[in-house]
Structure 1
Amino acid sequence: MKGAEKGMLVLSAIKNMKEDIRARLEADYPEIDFIFSYGIEEAKEHLPEAEVFITYGEDLNDELIKQAKNLKWIMVISAGLDQMPFRQIEEQGILVTNARGIHAVPMAEYAFSMLLQVYRQAKKLFEFEKEHSWQRKLPMEEISGKTMAIVGTGAIGQEVARIAKAFHMETLGVSKTGNDKPYFDKTYENAALTNVISNADFVVSVLPSTSETRELFQDEHFKAMPTHAVFLNMGRGDLVKSETILNAVRAGEIAHVVLDVFEEEPLPRDHPFWDEENVTITPHLSGSSSQYQYRAFEIFFDNLEKYLQGEKDYINKIDPKRGY
Structure 2
Amino acid sequence: MTNVLVLETQAEDYAAALREKFQNLELQVARSPADAEVDYGKVEILIAFGMGVTDSLFARMPRLKWVQSLATGVDHFLRSKTLARDVVLTSGRGIHGPAMRETVLHLMLSISHDSNGLVRDKASRRWDRRAWPLLSGKTAVVIGTGVAGSAIGSLLQAMGMQVVGVSRTPRDVAEFDTVVPQRELPQVAAKADYVINVLPGDAVNLKIIGGDVFARMKPSAYFINVGRGETVDEKALIEVLKDGKIAGAGLDVFAIEPLPGDSPLWDLPNVFITPHIGGLFEEYQQMAMPLIIRNMSAFLSGRPDQMTNVIDRSQPFPGTVT
Identical-pair percentage: 29
**Candidates 276, 284, 288, aligned match of 1:292:** 284
The alignment yields a C-alpha RMSD, in angstroms, of: 2.1
Give the superposition deviation at 1:320.
1.4
Q: How big is each residue's C-alpha offset from its partner over 1:110-135, in whole Å with a ceiling of 9 and x where there is no partner? A: 11112112333333222222222222
Q: 1:65 aligns with which of 39, 42, 58?
A: 58
Given that residues 111 and 249 in structure 2 are in contact (C-alpha distance below 8 angstroms), is that contact kept between their aligned partners in structure 1?
A: no
Counterpart of 1:278, as a letter, is N
CA distance in 2, matches of 1:32, 1:286: 32
Match of 1:9 among 3, 10, 19: 3
Unaligned runs of 5+ in 2: 318-322
Aligned partner of residue 230 in structure 2, secondary structure: helix
Among 162, 165, 178, which residue is 2:170 paired with? Answer: 178
Q: Report the counterpart of residue 39 of structure 1 in structure 2.
A: 32
1:43/1:60 Cα in 2 relative to 1: closer, same or farther (>3 Å)?
farther
User: Displacement of 1:164 after TM fit?
Assistant: 0.4
Q: Identify the residue that residue 205 of structure 2 maps to in structure 1.
A: 213
Q: Secondary structure at the match of 2:137?
A: coil
Alignment gaps of 5+ in structure 1: 1-6
The answer to whether the Cα contact below 8 Å between 1:207 and 1:236 also exists between their aligned partners in 2 is yes
- For 2:195, what is the secondary structure of its paired residue? strand
Structure 1 residues 125 and 64 mapped into 2: Cα distance closer, same or farther (>3 Å)? Answer: closer
Matches within 5 A, 1:1-324: 7-17=1-11, 19=13, 21-42=14-35, 46-84=39-77, 85=79, 88-91=82-85, 93-136=86-129, 138-311=130-303, 312-322=305-315
Would the alpha carbon gap of residues 276 and 291 (structure 1) be closer, same or farther in structure 2, given more than 3 Å must change? same
Determine helix, strand or coil for the equivalent of 1:268. coil
Residue pair 2:218, 2:245 contacting (<8 A) in 1 also: yes
Measured in 1, the distance between the counterparts of 2:61 and 2:171 equals 39
Distance 1:61 1:123 in 2: 36
Give the Cα separation in 1 of the matches to 2:313 and 2:81.
7
Measure how far apart 1:293 and its partner are. 2.2
> Counterparts of 1:98 and 1:250 in 2: how far apart (Å)?
37
> What is the letter of the counterpart of residue 78 of structure 1?
A
Structure 1 residue 303 displacement after superposition: 0.8
The letter of the residue matching 2:103 is: Y
Going from structure 1 to structure 2, the CA distance change for 1:227 and 1:317 (only over 3 Å counts) comes to same
Instruction: Please give the alpha-carbon distance, in whole angstroms, between the structure 2 residues aligned to 1:183 and 1:26.
Output: 38
CA distance in 1, matches of 2:301, 2:174: 33
Q: Is the 8 A contact 1:81 1:323 kept in 2?
A: no
Distance 1:88 1:271 in 2: 31
**Hey, what's the Cα distance between the residues in 2 that align with 1:157 and 1:231?**
15
Provide the rounded CA distance (Å) in 2 between the counterparts of 1:157 and 1:54. Answer: 25
Shift of 1:203: 0.3
Secondary structure at 1:286 match in 2: coil
Deviates more, 1:54-63 or 1:147-156: 54-63
Q: Is the 8 A contact 1:260 1:284 kept in 2?
A: yes
What is the alpha-carbon distance in structure 2 between the residues aligned to residue 241 and residue 149 of structure 1? Answer: 18
Q: Is the 8 A contact 1:13 1:43 kept in 2?
A: no
User: In the TM superposition, what whole-angstrom CA distance separates every residue of 1:127-168 from its partner, at most 9, and x where no partner exists?
Assistant: 2222222222x1221111111100011111011101001111
